[in-house]
Structure 1
Amino acid sequence: MITTAGCASTRVIPEALESKVEKTVTFEQILESPDSHRGKVVLLGGEVLKAKAMKGGTQLEVLQLPLDDDQEPDLDRMHSKGRFLALHKEFLDPATIVDGTRVTIVGEVTGAVVEKMDEADYRFPTLEVRHLHRWDRRREDHPRTSGPWWGVFGGVGFGGGGSRSGGGISIGF
């Protein structure tokens, strides 16, 4: 299952999975000991670095980023604690999940694999995707702030004080 966030409030964790997610398990714990968390359903987010079509679905290499109260990944890559691989059992065209797409994933920990990252070996924790939520890239252009904001090329809008719903107006010149 995949969802995409727009201007309106969207459920990041499907109701059917809400009670199964072990929210106390952190990425750092999974990174340190992936086998001890095998089978646990967790919530992780980050930025897609690479999407690759595989025989059994689509593999996403994700730069982990902390999630905010709305389960949206942080924008600052410096807050990352590492990378993970997420296998989506259904085929997703890699062209639809371009590098830089921010995602929140409900997934089951399946262990870890060692693969090359440039010239170094890197141990990637692995997840099987139960639910993938893609964040709308356009929202990054307009930070969640109260009061008016002005964009490049004549954009203007009004923030909703951090809310996920709100409006705006854009004027192009």
Structure 2
Amino acid sequence: MPIRLFSRPLRWTASLLALTLSACAPAPIYKPAPGTLTALPAQVAQSPQPYGHGQVIWGGSVIGVRNFSDHSEVEILAYPLDSSQRPQPDAHAAGRFIAIYPGYLEAFNYPGGSLITVSGQLNGIRSGMVDQAAYVYPLVNVAQSHVWTPAQMRQGHPDIHFGVGVAGGIR
């Protein structure tokens, strides 16, 4: 009988905790257009024809910025995105891509290692090199982008830690 007394409140508490934690996660920053591709950059690089000029929402870690006379390019190491469209750098990398922006970008605002999410349209592929290896980069004409701050990356992740430890000291 005592198990029954505690089971209902325990289930209610667990349900409330799950609802509270899910409500803390930020909403996606970009609304996917109908037909937005779910393919990852590595898939597009291997076989670009089926994807044409589709819309993508990709993200990852900034590798570098290059400025040209009429546009700027940001090379990005892609990672899967979470439900809020934040890159997940603890996951396996999903290839590289080049984000193309009209005009000039200040490289200082896109430091190496920064986490970024872009929304835009595929615009073919380009062959290049990663160190001494040949590489194929999907190109994305960027419509919108967001560089994530450390605080935004933590948002929606509770600071609750469980563990077992042993404490002691020597006198």
Query: Given the two structures, how large is their TM-score scaled by the length of structure 1?
Result: 0.69
Contact 2:55 / 2:122 at 8 angstroms: preserved in 1? yes
The residue that corresponds to 1:152 in the other structure is none
8 A contact 2:26–2:155 mirrored in 1: no
Residues 42 and 140 (structure 1 numbering): CA distance in 2 closer, same or farther, change over 3 Å?
Answer: closer
Asked if the contact 1:35–1:112 (Cα under 8 Å) also holds between the matched residues in 2, the reply is no
1:139 to 1:22, Cα distance in 2 relative to 1, 3 A: closer
**Which residue of structure 1 lines up, in the alignment, with residue 141 of structure 2?**
128
Give the corresponding residue for 1:38: 52
Question: Which has a greater percent of helix?
Answer: 2
Kept after mapping to 1: 8 A contact 2:41/2:96: no
TM-aligned CA deviation for residue 122 of structure 1 = 1.1
Residue of structure 2 aligned with 1:85, choices 86, 98, 102: 98
Maintained 8 Å contact 1:38/1:108? no
Report deviation, 1:58. Answer: 1.3
Matches within 5 A, 1:5-154: 9=26, 12-13=29-30, 18-20=32-34, 22-76=36-90, 79-139=92-152, 144-147=157-160
> Cα deviation per residue 1:5-56 (whole Å; 9 max; x = unaligned)?
xxx957511x5xx325614333343122123322111111100010111222
**Shift of residue 131 of structure 1?**
0.9
Deviation at 1:119, TM superposition (A): 1.7
Which range moved further: 20-29 or 78-87? 20-29
Which of these two proteins has the greater Rg computed from alpha carbons?
A: 2
Distance 1:141 1:115 in 2: 34
Q: For residues 65-109 of structure 1, what are the alpha-carbon distances to aligned partners after superposition, in whole Å with 9 as ceiling and x for unaligned?
A: 000111100022x51021111111132111110001101111211
Distance in 1 separating the partners of 2:103 and 2:126 = 20
Distance 1:117 1:25, change over 3 A: closer
Q: Secondary structure at the match of 1:29?
A: helix
Aligned residues: 139
Q: Which stretch has the larger CA shift, 21-30 or 117-126?
A: 21-30
Unaligned runs of 5+ in 2: 1-24, 163-171
One-letter code aligned to 1:99: G
The one-letter amino acid of 2:144's match is H
Unaligned runs of 5+ in 1: 1-7, 150-173
After superposition, the Cα gap between the structure-2 partners of 1:128 and 1:101, relative to the gap in structure 1 and judged at 3 Å, is same
Aligned-partner SS, 1:39? coil
Cα 1:86/1:72, change in 2 over 3 Å:
same
Conserved 8 A contact 1:21-1:43: no
Q: Alignment partner of 2:43: what SS?
A: helix
Of Structure 1 and Structure 2, which has the larger fraction of its residues in strand?
1
